[in-house]
Amino acid sequence: MTEQWVKPYGDTLGDGRVQLSFTLPVALDETTKEGAKRLAAMMGIDEPALAHAEDMGRGFSFFIVYGLCRHRVDLASLHVVKPEYEVLDKEAINRLIADKLGRRMVVLGACIETDAHTVGIDAIMNMKGYNGHKGLESYHGMRAINLGAQVDSEDLVARAIEEQADVILVSQVVTQKNIHLDNLTRLSDLLEAEGLRDKIILVVGGPRISHELAKELGYDAGFGTKTYAEDVASFVIHEWIKRGAA
Amino acid sequence: MTEQWVKPYGDTLGDGRVQLSFTLPVALDETTKEGAKRLAAMMGIDEPALAHAEDMGRGFSFFIVYGLCRHRVDLASLHVVKPEYEVLDKEAINRLIADKLGRRMVVLGACIETDAHTVGIDAIMNMKGYNGHKGLESYHGMRAINLGAQVDSEDLVARAIEEQADVILVSQVVTQKNIHLDNLTRLSDLLEAEGLRDKIILVVGGPRISHELAKELGYDAGFGTKTYAEDVASFVIHEWIKRGAA
Amino acid sequence: MTQLHLDQAQIDRARDSARRIAQRVYDEMSRFTTTTVERATLRLLGVDGVDENLVPLPNRVVSHLQERQLLQHGAASAVLGAMKEHGLSAMQVAEAVAAGTLSLNRPKNEAAARADADAQARSMCERIIRQRTQREARIKSVGEASLPWLYLIVATGNIHEDIVQAQAAAEQGADIIAVIRSTGQSLLDYVPYGATTEGFGGTYATQENFRLMRAALDEVGERLGRYIRLTNYCSGLCMPEIAAMGAIERLDMMLNDSMYGIIFRDINMQRTFIDQFFSRMVNAYAGVIINTGEDNYLTTADAYEAAHTVLASQLINEQFAYLSGLKPDQMGLGHAFEINPEMENGFLWELAHAQLVRQVFPDAALKYMPPTKHMSGNIFMGHLQDALFNIVSTATRQNIHLLGMLTEALHTPLIQDRFLAIQNAKYVFSTMKDLHAEIQFKPGGLIESRAQTVLAEAERMLAEIEEIGLPAAIGKGMFAEISRTPDGGKGLDGVVRKSDDYYNPFPKLMLGGR
Amino acid sequence: MTQLHLDQAQIDRARDSARRIAQRVYDEMSRFTTTTVERATLRLLGVDGVDENLVPLPNRVVSHLQERQLLQHGAASAVLGAMKEHGLSAMQVAEAVAAGTLSLNRPKNEAAARADADAQARSMCERIIRQRTQREARIKSVGEASLPWLYLIVATGNIHEDIVQAQAAAEQGADIIAVIRSTGQSLLDYVPYGATTEGFGGTYATQENFRLMRAALDEVGERLGRYIRLTNYCSGLCMPEIAAMGAIERLDMMLNDSMYGIIFRDINMQRTFIDQFFSRMVNAYAGVIINTGEDNYLTTADAYEAAHTVLASQLINEQFAYLSGLKPDQMGLGHAFEINPEMENGFLWELAHAQLVRQVFPDAALKYMPPTKHMSGNIFMGHLQDALFNIVSTATRQNIHLLGMLTEALHTPLIQDRFLAIQNAKYVFSTMKDLHAEIQFKPGGLIESRAQTVLAEAERMLAEIEEIGLPAAIGKGMFAEISRTPDGGKGLDGVVRKSDDYYNPFPKLMLGGR
Ligand code: B12
Ligand code: B12
Ligand SMILES: Cc1ncc(COP(=O)(O)O)c(C=O)c1O
Ligand SMILES: Cc1ncc(COP(=O)(O)O)c(C=O)c1O
């Protein structure tokens, strides 16, 4: 593959210009300013210029730096992990489900553990959908059950057994102190323990979720901001077919 | 000296949180996003999170990244180059000049070469001054001659000879493509060529000027934003005394 | 701003509906108490601490009473009776119960126990009044912030780190510090104990944390010459207990809504209404300003379409507040700038709405919330949304101004986010200082008509709620598009029908004989 | 916005003063021509190119005429005479002069030479009219931008890089692209030639650069369905030549002020007034919108204290513009949001000022400049200052809206700075779409009084200038606090007193016989 090196661009190809801001937990003086520049230099920023340095009181200082990033990256060399599937429309998805499953697909959705941010999962699951994209409830090929907020992983797994779920969709919005990692690991461990992990398509979504992260956590896919129901539905049916084929 | 390591601070000591923004000269897609994160990683940013990625049209993409900067710096180890002098008030400066020179000190100011930004040099030189700090014209110990904008270096040097200047103050505001470096070097070379460099205290100022840079260029001092007349005047008389002592 | 032309009779009709709606709920709910009301009562009588499993003693005692079928009489007389009989303090009684060395019964002498309870309660009331007086004295001596008060959150999860951030925020200009609570605390049926250093998206609300932060803010306030107010969350399954702790530790404000827990935390509605009444009574007595949570509706519903639900809910919250003894200047009725930034003329609608709320509640300490839902990772754009919010706030003279964070969509605030937020607000407030008095709305124009429409819709909505009752209205998802049923949700098991001889010393002391 | 109450008689008096001020300068100055006026004339007659030292041929020819004491008769007839006598084209004459193989003299037949010059000039005028017609046709076919027009600069120093940035800017929403000129070009007494790739803080204005950028913007405009306007600087020692080049290459707007060069570039005032008259005439004829530079005053003087100097100067610029045949809709009178962000109520004063200018010049294509002087390296704060500027612009219906850059204090714009600036303006303009019609100023309030004060001060200032004459006023530093004398400054050596038989074919063609 031909290489495709890129660098940040300000006003001339290859200039490497970047903007940076951060706080240092020290009062502002000439040394602190020098320290801020030095940090930028350590990041590989040439000619770091302190655009702004301001004392924030109580031994904190705020900095804005512009400079020239020395690093460049070869886009051609990057292997991006992304779910491989074609986004279909509702009709096509319903048809595929009818063809391949011959029954309605059971999809369970929840915001797990302490997370109560339901707007995201509602956007995917509920009739109304999001930005004019109807949710899974409106897919007649699916039985979409939205359990809502703060669902314990145990309860979710129990319900999955009860409903014979094909798919579990979980949402995680709160990520502070990486709490979502704990929550998500907990759920997949439980499914594993119940011997369900292979039977169920397990998907996670949320504004800070990437497919890469999801894969690392042992999920089948991860979806970030601006996801619509048809994206998930397309992935899910595609994954179902793939598993059948395997 | 005891070490004083610092790292950027977001909400926990040592967390290293920084904000970054830049443009990449490629259209937005998953690979570009990955490239943006990779660049942040190369800067030593752990867990780089793409807070925002937006296509700007015509093959450009804009990114905002937050992440954890791995680097830290020992403030105690930094040697900050700064002009060493005590800032005096106008009276004290006038008295010192009377004492040490026994005559008025001749100070020539100019914005050199193509630069026409006079507000800065006016703030230092003119009667009115800046932010309530009177300019050098108001110091009766000084003869302050402000040549204004776009003064050719040759003209400035000729005038310095004519007026028997003790001090030359130059202002450089335009720094695009580093034009100020050329201009400043040109002036000091000319002074050197005329054998005047040692006789004259040569000072540069401007919003993007640091003392460090000025020293590198062979100037006696450099002053940045928020400089007042008394800062320069204090330095100049201090430097005069130092040279006399040497 | 000049006043919008609004029909006062229409406002009065809407308010009358709200009064009847609230009164009906109150009448039905005053036949019940809850486990947390009783725990709060015990806390106010001096019970605190935890057992070896970190279960709070108020919980141990109340569970004990519940097991023994005694709770319906009220916890106070049983405990006071035991104190007298065994010559113990309230704490000692609780410890003994927890240790299993003491079983509580109905007091031998009910009248004496009640009198003792009254005496004990009176001394706590005096303590609370002393805090209230101290607040007033401090404001007088160190100085009062100017309006609007800048309200900032800290949410590191660690009380010690929170203190660093809170003091820095105050130095930068914050007038009010809210210590955001860890996710999930609202669903705990007990209040954690002691100083805490681990939380997610916030720090646990504990009495010790209250105390530490109060001291830190008193300290920085003195240094700055400005009394810094402290806020926490009086919501969730322990609403009354948090109110009690706050009253004791001199919190100044409390998030305390009549419906938030029901709608957003799926807490049982009966439980919430009962707890809410008691907690507000304590807040009222302690001179705390409550903050209601109507702003949250607009995080799930659309700010334009659901604007009237905010007003309707504020009117209901106001009436519930009156029932608990709160004065208008203690009512931080909540609303928010949640308009979609892509909506044409969105700013006009927000201006109309903020001014409408201002005029309907001229004496309330309105709490105005910044954009959150439509904030994105584009922090530069977000900073502008916050600026426009700041403009509406100063133009319509809001009282409690929550600062919007440019990183709202990303993380709980970093120290620099707060710093920039304060710069944003201060710039707007100063450069537009007298704008509110200089600009007038075009009579009959888009802004005025919009306000009139929202008012009319709120009136209609309240009429409908009056018809069907508040529980049914919530059941229909009339608020925030979320539906809850009277017997659904968490915490119903903590609702206890009062016996005829139920006794609690606080209402008559705090409400003056209601 | 509703209108401010202003005294129309006072406006009329101020305007009358300005008319007499301008007329007096015009009467005095029309006895002179300048080297660059003559070079522009030659360019319009077809002379272009450079010699082996890169000296433009128009300079070579004019110097030649000056040496031979012929310039006072006007360059046109000498060149046209030589063309006829030697059977050469204008370019061939110029090349021969440059090569030293031809010496110019007064034409043998002055009448015939004038007639030839007229014919040649007429064909150039037709060419310019064709460009003007093409502009109109393109606007009709690809579409016109909505008001206010978003104006963005590119300033990489390299025309090819500028094109990339300009096209990207247009895609992001720019309606006007200004190619900022290299520092120092305004003091060059010639116009550089060809495509250029090195400049500092901007790209050299050359005819080839004009052509390249024009083509690039036509291309992107077609793609976007919006005619993208192109702007450059018609200032400095070559003002008339730039006007000529712009007319030929279909520039749409030109920075072109009657006093900017005098004050900010220390260009001789006689030179400037003469050049200004000719250049504006060409601009007028080419359908170019001029942009005046009053905004610059506030970069050295204080925006509050010197507000009236902006208005006074606008009235003078307007009268000079009328003298050169410009129509009100070609008058992009300049003003700026340069208030100190720390000034209490600063926003109100800016609002008052912008509205005042709007009302005094209801038909002008007002150019409104963003904050620059008080921008700092705090880009987050700067972004807010720009937002408030955007608000005033939409609220007072400005026409040409220069986008403020959050990095104004740091560098010429990076591509992302422009991107964010457009998002800022678009957000404000959309969310406040009808605000201008909804908000009224309090009669007799702070805003109205402020506008009245500024108007009164401008009237007084103009009366004083009328008294002493414009050159003396400039000498007193009445504009921008910078003082210049009639015989000081650069370029006086290029001022030539016309002989009685001075001839130039363009004024009568372009002004229709003035
Ligand atoms: C609305 C909101 C709330 C509402 C939630 C109401 C509700 N019923 O959901 C309320 C007010 C209750 C709330 C409370 C809290 N919140 Co909140 N909240 C928000 C807010 C403003 C918007 C979130 C939202 O609705 N976005 C719109 C939806 C549509 O977007 P989305 O969730 O990203 O979903 C899309 C995709 O991500 C994806 N997706 C999401 N889930 C899934 C699942 C699957 C399977 C798939 C395929 C896709 C998918 O598809 C969706 C549609 O495209 C954000 C800030 C912001 N602007 O983002 C803060 C925010 C998320 N909240 C935050 C916090 C900290 C809290 C609290 C913990 C604060 C506290 N301590 O009290 C509480 C507690 C809540 C709890 N226990 O979880 C933080 C989280 C910080 C972090 N990164 O950890 C944020 C970022 C605010 C902040 N800056 O502090 N919040
Ligand atoms: C005002 C201004 C102008 C005015 C200048 C009027 C005048 N008579 O000075 C006008 C409108 C003419 C102008 C024109 C241009 N400008 Co200009 N201008 C500015 C602006 C808005 C403010 C500068 C200013 O006056 N600051 C206030 C003074 C008091 O601050 P200061 O200069 O920093 O001075 C202080 C210190 O630095 C120090 N100091 C300065 N000099 C000295 C000297 C000594 C000896 C000492 C001790 C101290 C000292 O003390 C001063 C007081 O504390 C800046 C943007 C900004 N906000 O900074 C752009 C800016 C400087 N301009 C810029 C440019 C590119 C131009 C042009 C080249 C654009 C063009 N191509 O047309 C032209 C050409 C000018 C030229 N040939 O030099 C760029 C420079 C970019 C760069 N880094 O290279 C800037 C940053 C704007 C931008 N973002 O593009 N400009
Ligand atoms: C009234 C009210 N209570 C409580 C909260 C916080 O929620 P919780 O404490 O349930 O996590 C909010 C959220 O902003 C609120 O508005
Ligand atoms: C009217 C006018 N002309 C010219 C310029 C640019 O200056 P110059 O071309 O002299 O560098 C400006 C600056 O903004 C201006 O306002």
Q: Residue A6 has what DSSP assignment?
A: E
Which chain A residue shows the shortest CA-CA distance from C301? A119
Q: Does residue A67 have its Cβ closer than 6 Å to ligand 1?
A: no
**What pLDDT score does B82 carry?**
84
Between the alpha carbon of residue D58 and those of residues D37, D98, D118, D189, D392, the distances in Å are 10, 9, 19, 11, 45
Residue A104 to residue B154: CA distance in whole angstroms: 87
- The half-sphere exposure of D16 on its side-chain side, counting CA atoms within 13 A, is 6
- Give the distance from residue B58's alpha carbon to the nearest chain D alpha carbon, in angstroms: 6
Question: Which residue lies with its CA nearest to atom 1 of ligand 4?
Answer: D293
Question: Which residue lies with its CA nearest to atom 33 of ligand 1?
Answer: A207
C251 with C231: CB under 8 angstroms? yes
Give backbone dihedrals phi and psi of D56, rounded to 5 degrees, phi first.
Answer: -60, 145
Nearest one of A200, A197, A181 to A189, comparing CA atoms = A197
Question: Which residue lies with its CA nearest to atom 9 of ligand 4?
Answer: D186
Interchain contact B66–D (C-beta under 8 A): no
The pTM for the full model equals 0.95
The preferred substitution site among C263, C373, C484 for testing ligand 1, maximizing ligand atoms within 8 Å of CB, is C373
- Give the distance from residue D53's alpha carbon to the nearest chain B alpha carbon, in angstroms: 22
**CB atoms inside a 10 Å sphere around CB D151:** 25
**Catalytic residue of the set D118, D227, D367, D503:** D367
A187 with A112: CB under 8 angstroms? yes
Between the alpha carbon of residue D426 and those of residues A92, C196, D25, D420, D421, the distances in Å are 38, 46, 42, 10, 9
**CB atoms inside a 10 Å sphere around CB B226:** 10
Which pair of tokens denotes residue B20? 């970054």
**What pLDDT score does A80 carry?**
87
C252 with C230: CB under 8 angstroms? yes
Q: Are strands A60-69 and A17-24 parallel, antiparallel or unpaired?
A: antiparallel
Question: Which residue lies with its CA nearest to atom 57 of ligand 2?
Answer: D409
Instruction: Enumerate the residues of chain A whose CB falls inside 8 A of the CB of residue C183.
Output: 114-116, 174, 179
Residue position matching structure tokens 């004060």: D453
**Active site (catalytic) residues of A:** 128
**What pLDDT score does C514 carry?**
46
Instruction: Please give the CATH topology (third level) of the domain spanning D32-122.
Output: Helicase, Ruva Protein; domain 3 (1.10.8)
Each residue's pLDDT expressed in tens, for chain D with a length of 514 residues: 578 999 999 999 999 999 999 999 999 999 999 999 999 999 999 999 999 999 999 999 999 999 999 999 999 999 999 999 999 999 999 999 999 999 999 999 999 999 999 999 999 999 999 999 999 999 999 999 888 999 999 999 999 999 999 999 999 999 999 999 998 899 999 999 999 999 888 999 999 999 999 999 999 999 999 999 999 999 999 999 999 999 999 999 999 999 999 999 999 999 999 999 999 999 999 999 999 999 999 998 999 999 999 999 999 999 999 999 999 999 999 999 999 999 999 999 999 999 999 999 999 999 999 999 999 999 999 999 999 999 999 999 999 999 999 999 999 999 999 999 999 999 999 999 999 999 999 999 999 999 999 999 999 999 999 999 999 999 999 999 889 999 999 999 999 999 999 999 999 999 974 4
Cβ <8 Å between C415 and A60: yes
Confidence label for C74 from pLDDT (cuts 50, 70 and 90): very high
Q: Across all residues in chain C, what is the average pLDDT?
A: 96
Between the alpha carbon of residue A91 and those of residues A133, A139, C100, the distances in Å are 13, 8, 65
Q: Residue C404 has what DSSP assignment?
A: P
**What pLDDT score does D146 carry?**
86
User: Is pLDDT at B1 greater than 80 in this prediction?
Assistant: no
Q: E strand or H helix at C185, and its extent?
A: none
**What pLDDT score does D1 carry?**
52
- 3.20.20.70, 1.10.10.10, 3.20.20.440, 3.20.20.80: which CATH number matches C144-448? 3.20.20.440
User: Which atom of ligand 3 has the smallest separation from the CA of C296?
Assistant: 16
Query: What is the average per-residue pLDDT within C455-480?
Result: 97
pLDDT, tens digit, 9 for 90 and up, residues C211-253: 999 999 999 999 999 999 999 999 999 999 999 999 999 999 9
Give backbone dihedrals phi and psi of A45, rounded to 5 degrees, phi first.
Answer: -100, 115
Q: E strand or H helix at D191, and its extent?
A: none
Instruction: Please state the ipTM of this predicted complex.
Output: 0.95
For D401-431, give one letter per residue: b (16+ CB within 10 A) or e. Answer: bbbbbbbbbbbbbbbbbbbbbbbbbebbbbb
Confidence label for A245 from pLDDT (cuts 50, 70 and 90): confident
User: Is pLDDT at B85 greater than 50 in this prediction?
Assistant: yes
Print the SS3 string covering D359-409.
Answer: HHCCCCCCEEECCCCCCCCCHHHHHHHHHHHHHHHHHCCCCEEECCCCCCC
Nearest one of B71, C175, B22 to D419, comparing CA atoms = B22
pLDDT, tens digit, 9 for 90 and up, residues A212-229: 999 999 999 999 999 999
Which pair of tokens denotes residue C361? 């509640």
Residue position matching structure tokens 């669902």: A151
Burial (CB < 10 A; 0-12, 13-18, 19+), residue A1, is exposed
Domain span(s) for CATH 1.10.8.1000 in chain D: 32-122
Tell me the residue length of chain A: 246
Our measurement of the distance from residue C287's CA atom to the centroid of its chain's CA atoms, rounded to an integer in Å, reads 13
Q: Hey, of A6, A7, A11, which one would you mutate to test binding to chain D, going by the most D CBs within 10 A of its CB?
A: A11
Q: Categorise residue B173: left if φ over 0, alpha if ψ from -120 to 50, beta otherwise.
A: alpha
Q: E strand or H helix at C365, and its extent?
A: none
**What pLDDT score does B177 carry?**
83
Between the alpha carbon of residue B224 and those of residues B130, B151, C204, D7, the distances in Å are 14, 21, 47, 47
Q: Residue B126 has what DSSP assignment?
A: S
* Chain D residues in contact with chain C using a Cβ-Cβ cutoff of 8 Å: 2, 339, 341-348, 378, 380-381, 383-385, 387-388, 391, 406, 420, 423-424, 427-428, 430-435, 437-442, 445-447
- Give the distance from residue C169's alpha carbon to the nearest chain A alpha carbon, in angstroms: 9
Question: Which residue lies with its CA nearest to atom 31 of ligand 1?
Answer: A120
Query: What is the average per-residue pLDDT within C187-212?
Result: 95
Cα of B84 vs centre of ligand 2, distance in Å, is 27
Residue D478 to residue D473: CA distance in whole angstroms: 6
Query: What is the average per-residue pLDDT within A142-149?
Result: 94
Which pair of tokens denotes residue B107? 């100070």
B101 with B240: CB under 8 angstroms? yes
Residue D351 to residue C412: CA distance in whole angstroms: 36
pLDDT, tens digit, 9 for 90 and up, residues A82-114: 888 999 999 999 999 999 999 999 999 999 998
Confidence label for C200 from pLDDT (cuts 50, 70 and 90): confident
Q: Across all residues in chain A, what is the average pLDDT?
A: 95
Ligand closest to B180 (CA) is 2
Query: What is the average per-residue pLDDT within C177-194?
Result: 94
Residue D378 to residue D386: CA distance in whole angstroms: 12
Instruction: Enumerate the residues of chain B whose CB falls inside 8 A of the CB of residue D198.
Output: 177
Between the alpha carbon of residue C243 and those of residues C133, C246, D311, the distances in Å are 18, 5, 61
pLDDT, tens digit, 9 for 90 and up, residues C424-456: 999 999 999 999 999 999 999 999 999 999 999
User: Is pLDDT at B215 greater than 90 in this prediction?
Assistant: yes
Residue D494 to residue D514: CA distance in whole angstroms: 24
Q: Is the dihedral of CA C101, C106, C107, C108 positive or negative?
A: negative
Which pair of tokens denotes residue C156? 């590191």
Cβ <8 Å between B11 and C161: yes
**What pLDDT score does D514 carry?**
46
Q: Hey, of C378, C438, C447, C449, which one would you mutate to test binding to chain D, going by the most D CBs within 10 A of its CB?
A: C438
pLDDT, tens digit, 9 for 90 and up, residues D275-321: 999 999 999 999 999 999 999 999 989 999 999 999 999 999 999 99
**Is it true that the peptide bond before C148 is cis, omega within 30 degrees of 0?**
yes
Which pair of tokens denotes residue B237? 């008389």
Which chain B residue shows the shortest CA-CA distance from D220? B58
Domain span(s) for CATH 3.20.20.440 in chain D: 144-448
Sketch out chain B's domains with CATH numbers. Answer: 5-74 (3.30.30.60), 90-245 (3.40.50.280)
pLDDT, tens digit, 9 for 90 and up, residues C488-500: 999 999 999 999 9
**Active site (catalytic) residues of C:** 260, 295, 367
D195 with D212: CB under 8 angstroms? yes
Nearest-5° angle of CA A12, CA A17, CA A21?
Answer: 155
**What pLDDT score does D229 carry?**
98
Amino acid at C474: I
Amino acid at D145: A
